[in-house]
């Protein structure tokens, strides 16, 4: 298996996610309610009983890269929210983190998802407010994208990565932590 540099893998990841986002938008989102019409904007992202997004190391690095484009004060504020989320919901890098839920620290009221254009995780791309179950994108679409993301991680980091709750990965690569 040919190895990838992190820069090359981030490029490939961005293309993969962009293609996936466009595919979902073109083929499924027209069946979903628009986030703009939601009476409680961000409810799905901030619902601590619902959110359970896990990401890989490469996705965490892509999110960090996206956040690095914000001013430093804003970055400190976001990473402080990330750390608070890890502590509040007792999220850890070991054990069954798939059983834990949390409010996403990357959603900001009056702004939305801070990584919507670049860095948005595959489960978040798949998610929308669909009225009818038959309108949802099939699970195998997300699974296919996640398998491709796994391959990118393996080619970049070997076995030195795993899926963790989004706040755990972001906290572990927080550029402001000592």
Q: Are 105 and 81 in contact (CB under 8 A)?
A: yes
Give domain status of residue 159, yes or no. yes
Nearest to 168 by CA among 108, 97, 78, 76: 97
pLDDT at position 36: 76
Give domain status of residue 25, yes or no. yes
Give domain status of residue 148, yes or no. yes
Residue 127 belongs to what domain range?
6-172
Give domain status of residue 178, yes or no. no
Please give the tally of structural domains in the chain.
1
pLDDT at position 37: 78
- Residues 18-44: tens digit of each pLDDT: 999 999 999 999 898 887 777 777 778
pLDDT at position 109: 85
- Residues 70-94: tens digit of each pLDDT: 999 999 999 999 999 999 999 998 8
Give domain status of residue 177, yes or no. no
Give domain status of residue 1, yes or no. no
pLDDT, average across residues 153-158: 96
pTM above 0.85, yes or no: yes
Give domain status of residue 118, yes or no. yes
Give domain status of residue 16, yes or no. yes
pLDDT at position 99: 84
User: What HEC string does the chain produce?
Assistant: CCCCCHHHHHHHHHHHHHHHHHHHHHHCHHHEECHHHCCCCCHHHHCCCCCCCEECHHHHHHHHHHHCCCCHHHHHHHHHHHHHHHHHCCCCCCCCHHHCCCCCCCEECCCEECCCCCCCCHHHHHCCEECCHHHCCCHHHHHHHHHHHHHHHHHHHCCCCCCEEHHHHHHHCCCCCC
């Amino acid at each position: 298996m040919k190895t990838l540099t992190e820069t090359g893998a981030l490029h490939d990841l961005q293309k993969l996610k962009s293609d996936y986002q466009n595919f979902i938008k073109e083929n499924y989102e027209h069946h979903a309610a628009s986030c703009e019409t939601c009476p409680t904007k961000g409810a799905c992202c901030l619902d601590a009983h619902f959110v359970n997004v896990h990401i890989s190391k490469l996705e965490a690095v892509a999110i960090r890269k996206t956040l690095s484009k914000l001013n430093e004060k804003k970055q400190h504020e976001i990473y402080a929210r990330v750390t608070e989320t890890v502590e509040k919901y007792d999220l850890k890098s070991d054990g069954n983190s798939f059983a834990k839920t949390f409010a996403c620290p990357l959603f900001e009221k009056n702004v939305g998802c801070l990584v919507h254009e670049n860095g948005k995780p595959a489960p978040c791309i798949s998610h929308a407010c669909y009225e009818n179950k038959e309108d949802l994108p099939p699970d195998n679409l997300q699974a296919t994208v996640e398998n491709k993301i796994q391959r990118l991680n393996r080619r970049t980091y070997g076995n030195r990565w795993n899926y963790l709750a989004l706040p755990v990965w972001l906290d572990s690569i927080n550029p402001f932590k000592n």
